[in-house]
Structure 1
């Protein structure tokens, strides 16, 4: 897992051309002018999903992990707590759903506060619990860029 400000996005271009494309998209797009939904960057290899929501309590959320896609989660506005843990430290509660590229898990992890301008890169071994409330009311606009892993392409 990598956490940083989008102001430093160019430092991570060397992680690969797909990560570079995702970060440039986040750096160059005014998300206040776009509606929630899916936006293709490079078809199914790289695409973005814009989401608006009110974060939920930790008790209302579940741990998740993906196999086929890397997530680059970007907070365009608002703030949330985001949980993270290595998948090996959690217990599977629902087997991998290939059609949705998701495994649901339970257990303990750590949390960071992600504010507007923060991006988080989550690899397949990084379980995460996004959209968790920091205790303060407020809407979040998040952009999740999905990057097909090289092993899945």
Structure 2
């Protein structure tokens, strides 16, 4: 996993052309004018999901991971905690759903990171994560999750 600010995005261009496209989309889009929804960036290889919600407590929440896509989670406005752990010998509490590309894990995160406006986190398939968690009290958040395919580019 990687946590940084969007102004440092160029440091991660070495991860590949899909990351360059994802970061360029984040840098060039005025999200104050973008409604909630799914937006294609490069077919099914790269797409964005714009969401708005109030942060929640950890009670009843579980960590998730993906196999087909890497998450780039960018905070447009607000702040939240994201719980983390590394996928090792964890056993899923909800088996992998290939269509939705996720599985859930009931263990408690090993650590939490606070993401604020202008920050992003990258979660690879080996990174368990629990997003949308309140810092002190629930606050509204606008977040863009860019999904980057793990399939090799053609």
Shorter-chain TM range is over 0.9
Shift of 1:43: 1.0
CA contact (8 A) 2:56 2:138 kept: no
Q: Distance in 2 between matches of 1:129 and 1:86?
A: 12
CA contact (8 A) 2:83 2:131 kept: yes
Partner of 1:13: 13
Q: Distance in 2 between matches of 1:84 and 1:26?
A: 23
Q: Distance in 2 between matches of 1:89 and 1:142?
A: 30
User: Is there any run of 5+ residues in structure 2 with no aligned partner, and where?
Assistant: none
Shift of 1:151: 5.0
Q: Distance in 2 between matches of 1:24 and 1:131?
A: 24
Matched ranges for 1:100-111 at <5 A? 100-108=100-108, 109-111=110-112
CA contact (8 A) 2:4 2:119 kept: yes
Runs of 4 or more above 6 Å deviation: none
- Over the aligned positions, Cα root-mean-square deviation in angstroms equals 1.4
Q: Distance in 2 between matches of 1:102 and 1:76?
A: 24
User: 1:65-84: per-residue Cα shift (whole Å, max 9, x none)?
Assistant: 00000000000000000011
CA contact (8 A) 1:68 1:152 kept: no
Aligned residues: 153
TM-score (norm. length: structure 2): 0.95
Q: Distance in 2 between matches of 1:139 and 1:60?
A: 20
Shift of 1:60: 3.3
CA contact (8 A) 2:56 2:134 kept: yes
User: Is there any run of 5+ residues in structure 1 with no aligned partner, and where?
Assistant: none
Q: Distance in 1 between matches of 2:16 and 2:141?
A: 28
Higher helix fraction (1 or 2): 1
